[in-house]
Structure 1
C-alpha cells in the first residue's frame, strides 16, 4: 500500500512504516550552533531522514571560534568544524560540570581551491604536480599536489602572479600570490591553515612553548594578515565567475569542492574542468566533532555516528565517512565519485602530516596573528 502525505502547517514527514508524522506529534526541535557543516543539516534529504526519527533541527550559523566562545543557553548541541574549538567547548563544560558528549561521524581535509590557469602556472614553476587518480583526464587534471614550503616562500617574498608567468595562460594578475581564508579569528579552516603554515615554517615542528609560538606567529603574520581576510563564505566566492579575479586561491574543505563538482556534473553532464584542487604536500585532516549539550542533543549525535542513511548522505555531500573502527576512509567516497562521473584524486603516502600546536598555544597564535580579541569565558548552560 502506498502511503499518502498531505501538507499540514507546512511540515510533515512519513515514518519508515508509512505513518504520518504531524508537527508537534512526536517531533522534537533541536537548537544547534554550527560552523561550515551547516550545509549538511540544510540538505533536504538529511532533513527527511531526521524527520523519520522525529527530529527537526534549527541551526544558528557562526564561525567555529565564536561557537566555542559564546554562551550555550538554549542550545542542544554545538558542531564546530575542527578539534580545537571542540576541545575548548568540552574543557569549558567540564570545568562547569555541564552536560557535554562528543560524537564523530565524518571528516574533510583542508585544501586549496583554485583555477586551472593558476594551478598550471604553479606547475610551470615546479610548485605543483598532477595528482592523477582513477578516471582522470591526463590533459586536464582536477587535482594537484602543492609544495607548501615553496608556496609559502613565494608568498612571504612578496612575489606576484605576473612575476611567475601567469600571462602564459592568457590571464593577467599583478596581485601578490596568496591563499585566502575567512576571518582567522572566527573560522576553523583559517585557524587550521595558520597551524599548517606555522608547522611548515617551523621546519615541520610544532611550537611547544609560549616563546616558540610567539616567534612563529611573528614570522607568519605578514603573510596571513596581508590576505585581508575578507569573506565569511569563501567557497561561494570561488563558485561565481567573478571569483577568479577576487580570490584565485582560497582555503576550503575538500567536501565543498566534491559537492560542487557533483552538482555541476548533474547540471551539465560533465565536471567543471576549470576549477581544480591543490592538496598541500603538508596536510592536516580536520575532524569536526558534534557535541551534545543536552540529552536530547545526544540522540542526534548517536544518529550521526551510526545511521547508515545519514552516513551515506554525508558521503554524497563529499565527506569522508568514518569506518567501524572510527578511522576516516576515502575508499567509499572515491568509488562514489567515480560512479558519478567525477575523477577521484590519487591517494598518496608521500605527504607530510601536520600537527597542530596544543590548544592554548594555537589560541595564542591565532590571537597574535589575527589581532583577535581573547576568547571569552562561556556562561554556564543549564541542562
Structure 2
C-alpha cells in the first residue's frame, strides 16, 4: 500500500514538473498557439510601427523562428523608462540609444536603417523661398532649405505676406517650419540639433556656455508655432490632407515622404515637394539588445536581405545603399543617393538640457 502511494506521489510530482516547464516556455514561445515561434518583445519609436506590423515583415521574422511584438514610445521616453520587460529597445535617435547602451552596459548595438530629416512643402513655397535666397540647390539634384538664412528670417518674426514679391502665399502668419512638440517627439529633438548647430556658429553644442547662447533663438522657433503635435504623423497628415494653407512647411522624416511615393496611393500630389535642410541630421534608428533574442532581431534587421528590402520600401535608408536606391528608382522618387551636408546631434545629456530649457518656456 505504501509502495503504491509512493509511486502515485512520484507521478503527481513528475506531472507537476512537466506542467511548470511547459508553462514556463509559454512566456517565450507561442507553443499554446502551436506556432513554435519564439516571442521577442521590444519597445520602438512609433514611426517604425507600420514596418513591424506589416505581414511581410512578420513572415520574414517567422522564417527565422521569431515572432516580434512591440510597444511604442518616444525616444526620450525609451531612454528613461523601465526596460525590464523588453528584450530590445529601438529608439529613433543615436543619442537615446547611447544613453541606454551606457546605462545598461551593453557592448554592441545595431543600426539597421536611418532617415535624414527633411521638409515637406509645396512648389509655390519652394519658388517663393528660392526667390528670397532661402532655398537653394543642394550638392546634387535636389534643393535645400538654408537654415542660416531661415533663422535670420524667423528671428525677425517675418510673416509670409512680408516676403518681397509674394503673390503665391500672402498668409499673415510667421515663416516657420511646423514641427512636433519638443517635449515629446524625437523629430523635434532632431530639428533642435540642426538649428542649434547653425546658431552655435556651425558647431555641435557641447558646453553650458553654448547652450545658453543658442537657447533664446532656438526656443522661439518652437514657441512661436503655438500648439504642436506629439508625433510626426500629425503634421505630415495635415500637410497631406489640409494642404498649403494649413501646413506650408512640415518637418518630417524623409522615410515618410518616400513611403507614400512607394505606395503610389495618390497622397503625394504633383505640387508637393521635398526639401532637405542644410545642414541636416540623420535620425539613426539604433537597436540596443537587452537579451540574446533581442540581439538576434537586431542582427536580422541589419543583415537579412529580405528585411533590408522591406525596410527600404518603407522609405528607410539601409546598410546596403543599393536596396534604397532600387526602391526610389522604381518609385521615381526625387531623393538623392547621398546627402553631403549632414551633422551629428549633441550628446543625449546636452540635448536633454536644451529640450528641458525649451519646455520651461511653454
Give the TM-score range, shorter chain.
0.7 to 0.9
> Which has the larger share of helix?
2
User: Residue 176 of structure 2: SS of its match in structure 1?
Assistant: coil
**Would you say the 8 A contact 2:309–2:323 is kept in 1?**
no
Question: 1:279 and 2:286 equivalent?
Answer: no
Alignment of 1:112-261 (within 5 A): 112-130=119-137, 143-164=142-163, 168-169=167-168, 171-228=169-226, 230-239=228-237, 240-261=240-261
C-alpha change, 1:166 and 1:224, in structure 2 (3 Å) is farther
The answer for the alignment partner of 1:61 in structure 2 is 72
What CA deviation, in whole Å up to 9, does each residue of 1:169-225 have, x standing for no partner? 2x4421111112212122222111101101101110123321221222233212222
What CA deviation, in whole Å up to 9, does each residue of 1:321-376 have, x standing for no partner? 114xxxxx4x5423432222333437564x3x323223322221111122399xxx
User: Residue 225 of structure 2: SS of its match in structure 1?
Assistant: coil
Of the three residues 43, 56, 59, the one matched with 1:48 is 59
The answer for the alignment partner of 2:287 in structure 1 is 290
C-alpha change, 1:276 and 1:129, in structure 2 (3 Å) is same
User: Residue 289 of structure 1: SS of its match in structure 2?
Assistant: strand
- Between 361-370 and 233-242, the greater mean CA deviation after superposition: 233-242
**Would you say the 8 A contact 1:261–1:272 is kept in 2?**
no
User: Residue 167 of structure 2: SS of its match in structure 1?
Assistant: helix
The answer for the alignment partner of 1:300 in structure 2 is 297
Q: How many residues align?
A: 329
**Would you say the 8 A contact 2:116–2:253 is kept in 1?**
yes
User: Residue 184 of structure 2: SS of its match in structure 1?
Assistant: coil
Alignment of 1:257-268 (within 5 A): 257-264=257-264, 267-268=265-266
Of the three residues 29, 44, 50, the one matched with 2:39 is 29
Query: Deviation of residue 23 (structure 1)?
Result: 3.3
C-alpha change, 1:346 and 1:59, in structure 2 (3 Å) is closer
**Would you say the 8 A contact 2:117–2:253 is kept in 1?**
yes
The answer for the alignment partner of 1:342 in structure 2 is 333
Of the three residues 60, 78, 84, the one matched with 1:73 is 84
Partners of 2:326 and 2:151 in 1: CA distance: 33
**Would you say the 8 A contact 1:271–1:342 is kept in 2?**
no
Alignment of 1:295-334 (within 5 A): 295-323=292-320, 329=321, 332-334=323-325
TM-score, normalised to structure 2, is: 0.83
The answer for the alignment partner of 2:21 in structure 1 is none
Partners of 2:335 and 2:218 in 1: CA distance: 33
- Between 244-253 and 174-183, the greater mean CA deviation after superposition: 244-253
Query: Deviation of residue 235 (structure 1)?
Result: 3.4
Question: 1:369 and 2:358 equivalent?
Answer: yes
- Between 229-238 and 191-200, the greater mean CA deviation after superposition: 229-238
Structure showing greater Rg: 2
